[in-house]
Copies of this chain bind each other. A is one copy, B any other.
Amino acid sequence: MSFKPRATLPDTAFTLPARYYTDQTLFERELDVFYRSLWVGVARLEDLPARGSWITRNVAGDNVLIVRQDGDAVRAFYNLCRHRGTQLCDADRGEFAGSIRCPYHAWTYDYDGRLVGAPHMDGSPGFNRDEFPLNSIRAAVWDGFVFVSLAADGPSLADQLGGIPDKFQSWRMGSLRRAHQIVYDVGANWKLIVQNYNECLHCPTLHPALNRLSHYLNGENEPFRENYMGGRMDLNEGAKTMSMDGTCSRAPLSGLSEEERRHVYYYSVFPNFMIAPHPDYVLTHTLWPLAPNRTRIVCDWFVDAAELAKPGFDFTDATAFWDMTNRQDWHVCELAQGGISSRGYRPGPYSNREDLLYAFDRYILDKLGESPDR
């Protein structure tokens, strides 16, 4: 094998100062600049199976209520009543029976968030129902993935996703269904998770099983884009997918080309959605920053609906493989968080194989309005 070298990074390509991983104020600014400004992945359309189905999600500290409308449409609202601020829904998911009713004083809204009932407010001469709709949040769906944006305006979801929908069109992801989910609570800054996801230089040391299926130098990165980054790894001769032994009992997804079946793709859509299309399944990691040093990670596996429905469908080869690999990654991310938090930490040099990480750091600084030299 011969491996394509990567472009040389500048001498100044060092990791970020510690404060970007430890400082509470910077963390809050990141929530504003990334998690409250960009589109964040929150769910799958299958989590909202019918009109009136709802879910709640905590997005950067705010509880968001997402309601399925007719067809594939969804709407999102801050999960609270306009009367005295009471949370309307007190669970992860449920089904409304025709309207949204506050459990405290029975103020009632339709699925578009319009106030349609407000007991005992008639006696208030200045009161006008139209002035108190639910507080709305933008929501949109791409191939079955539901995103919301807390920003009142700004780019559309399509703008943010850029070339990604086209690139993965063959996977027909809207028709896939969730086969498995694992939630991890990781003691590391969310950016360390993103960085870990976007380089495979650590694979031979940390992931011997993965490295047997795809040689760590045998891949290609796409140039860094405005709101995402990623690349592909090439499956070794004989490996069919990422699974415990590289074999695969499932058919490849039907729309894929011969070429697409030889790769595994890894893309991070900033800030919180990481997607890895495989020949026979799609893996996503959704990040929920809880503190400068803590991130909740929801890992989902999606497969062909027909495959999932087969009697005796067994997916443990893929879920066990990625659960093992995930845990190796989270552990080393926690070690990185621990070391970076130390007074002994100094920014260190990136190698040329960590090109995307260096670009990501510049992106973070740029969005935060921070000088790269500070």
Bound CA span A364–B79, Å: 27
**A62, CB-defined interface residue at 8 Å:** yes
**A2, CB-defined interface residue at 8 Å:** no
Q: Hey, which chain B residues are within 8 Å of A159, CB to CB?
A: none
**A11, CB-defined interface residue at 8 Å:** yes
Bound CA span A123–B349, Å: 12
Bound CA span A343–B132, Å: 16
Q: Hey, which chain B residues are within 8 Å of A63, CB to CB?
A: 338-339, 342
Give the contact stretch, choosing among A198-206, A267-275, A290-298. A198-206
Residue among A86, A126, A332, A340 with the highest chain B CB neighbour number at 10 A = A86
Contact of A343 among B78, B123, B348 (CB under 8 A): B78
Does the CB pair B62–A342 fall under 8 Å? Answer: yes
Give the contact stretch, choosing among A103-111, A178-186, A366-374. A103-111
Interface of A is mostly: loop
Restricting to A336-357, which residues have a CB under 8 Å from any CB of B?
Answer: 336, 338-340, 342-346, 348-349, 351-353
**A25, CB-defined interface residue at 8 Å:** no
Contact of A348 among B81, B119, B137, B150 (CB under 8 A): B81
Contact of A104 among B127, B135, B205 (CB under 8 A): B205
Q: Hey, which chain B residues are within 8 Å of A346, CB to CB?
A: 82, 135
**A84, CB-defined interface residue at 8 Å:** yes
Taken together, the copies of this chain in the complex come to: 3
Does the CB pair A348–B205 fall under 8 Å? Answer: no
Expressed in whole angstroms, the minimum distance between the Cβ of A342 and any Cβ of chain B is 5
Bound CA span A342–B104, Å: 17
**A308, CB-defined interface residue at 8 Å:** no
Does the CB pair A79–B342 fall under 8 Å? Answer: yes
Q: Hey, which chain B residues are within 8 Å of A343, CB to CB?
A: 61-62, 78, 150
With A105-B202, A123-B8, A343-B62 already in contact, the answer to whether A86 and B336 are too (CB < 8 A) is: yes
Does the CB pair B332–A9 fall under 8 Å? Answer: no
Restricting to A275-321, which residues have a CB under 8 Å from any CB of B?
Answer: none
- Which single residue of chain B is at the shortest CB-CB distance from A123? B352
Expressed in whole angstroms, the minimum distance between the Cβ of A181 and any Cβ of chain B is 25
Q: Hey, which chain B residues are within 8 Å of A326, CB to CB?
A: none
Interface residues of A (CB under 8 A from B): 5-6, 8-9, 11, 13, 15, 18, 61-63, 77-88, 90, 103-106, 119-121, 123-127, 132, 135, 137, 150, 201-202, 204-206, 331-332, 335-336, 338-340, 342-346, 348-349, 351-353
- 24 A-B residue pairings within 8 Å (CB atoms): A5-B123, A8-B123, A8-B124, A8-B125, A11-B124, A11-B125, A78-B342, A79-B344, A80-B340, A81-B348, A84-B348, A85-B342, A86-B335, A87-B336, A87-B338, A87-B339, A103-B335, A104-B206, A104-B336, A124-B349, A132-B348, A135-B344, A137-B344, A150-B343
